Amino acid sequence: MKSKESILTDNFGRYHNYLRISLTERCNLRCSYCMPLEGFQLSPSENLMSAEEIYEIAKIFVKFGVNKIRLTGGEPLVRKDFIKILNLLSTLNIELSLTTNAVSVDRYFNELKKAGVKTVNVSLDTLSSQRFHDITFRNYFDRVYKNIFKLIDNGFKTKINAVIMRGTNDDEIISFVNFTKNNPVTFRFIEFMPFDGNQWRREKTVSYKEIMDKLQSTYQKDQIIRIKDAPNDTSKNYKIKGYKGAFAIISTVTNPFCDQCNRIRLTANGKLKNCLFSQEETNLLKAFRNKEDLEQIIFRNISKKYAVRSGLSDPENFEDPREHKKNRSMIAIGG
């Protein structure tokens, strides 16, 4: 019998105590970097995890040492039994958090508080209502923008995730940072990443260095303060001196942080992915329904994890869009 810790420790000594669970493949936005423009085939409903199955499988991971669970999608709040799932998971001894597009998050403040959710990540790629429509194909900007302030007012630690794409929103980087002047949020810039169907090209990715160069040409050197990163943090964190909030850069493409990765993902149809870019998946839902021993199945999945980005360690391989057609679209993985 292996120790609890070794079940979730890969061959490179990385201990995975953070589980991200996608509740649904559906979303009320259609961001092209996440969902293919032509759409994609949803999993049949019978192949999706029920609320009880999500809870029972999550409970196994917690038994093995997971102490942080983030609920993602698609958009997790479009799931009709979201509150039931939230209440079930809140009984586990974990830190529970949420990633949402915030279109309807204000309807759930009381339930989120009761479940102990303290941190909410909001996906928002622009501060322009017209550009919001251009990116999402929906007219929900005003609702999302107002809900960010409602989250702050209700005491949630609020992080805003913006995927930075050249020619789309890279001209807003300074505006994003200036948003943190009077608002206690962390604006996080995520490098545009390749997934199946999102028409990724390397030249559309704005690198960590380019973002920092832009900031250093705008603010004086002593104004940009480096903040100590939390353990296993995927972002490099900063703030502008005197600003209430902070900003961060997640450089998955140009400066990967695989050596300290502690994350694993469970898709809405119950597949375990040991890396965001993993082409191999383990069907935990099928195994669970067949009453198989998930301990060994999870261990085998974790032990197969590559040192860097699912084996795409060479930039030339990683930047070949053909390599990512073997992976899922982002919306089918979970944020």
Q: Are 215 and 249 in contact (CB under 8 A)?
A: no
pLDDT, greater one: 279 or 59:
59
pLDDT tier at 321 (50, 70, 90 boundaries)?
A: low
pLDDT score of 323? 64
Over range 254-274, report the average pLDDT. 92
Partner residues linked to 188 by β-bridges? 161, 248
Q: Is the pLDDT of residue 130 over 60?
A: yes
Q: HEC profile for 126-181?
A: CCCHHHHHHHHCCCCHHHHHHHHHHHHHCCCEEEEEEEEECCCCHHHHHHHHHHCC
pLDDT score of 65? 95
Under DSSP, is residue 18 helix (H, G, I), strand (E, B) or coil? strand
Q: Is the pLDDT of residue 2 over 60?
A: no
pLDDT, one tens digit per residue, over 141-198 is 999 999 999 999 999 999 999 999 999 999 999 999 999 999 999 999 998 877 766 6
Q: Taking the mean position of all CA atoms in its chain, how far away is CA 178?
A: 23
Closest to 163 in 3D by CA, of 331, 314, 280: 331
Cα torsion 307, 312, 313, 319: sign:
negative
Q: Is the pLDDT of residue 260 over 70?
A: yes
Q: Are 72 and 330 in contact (CB under 8 A)?
A: no
pLDDT, one tens digit per residue, over 69-114 is 999 999 999 999 999 999 999 999 999 999 999 999 999 999 999 9
Q: Taking the mean position of all CA atoms in its chain, how far away is CA 133?
A: 22
pLDDT score of 3? 58
Domain-by-domain residue ranges, the chain?
4-332
Distance CA 136, CA 306 (A): 33
> Would you give the DSSP letter of residue 92?
S
φ and ψ at 325, to 5 degrees? -70, -15
Average pLDDT of the chain, as a whole number: 91
Give the CA dihedral 83, 273, 18, 77, nearest 10 degrees. -20
pLDDT tier at 333 (50, 70, 90 boundaries)?
A: confident
Indicate the fold that domain 4-332 takes in CATH.
TIM Barrel (3.20.20)
pLDDT tier at 1 (50, 70, 90 boundaries)?
A: very low
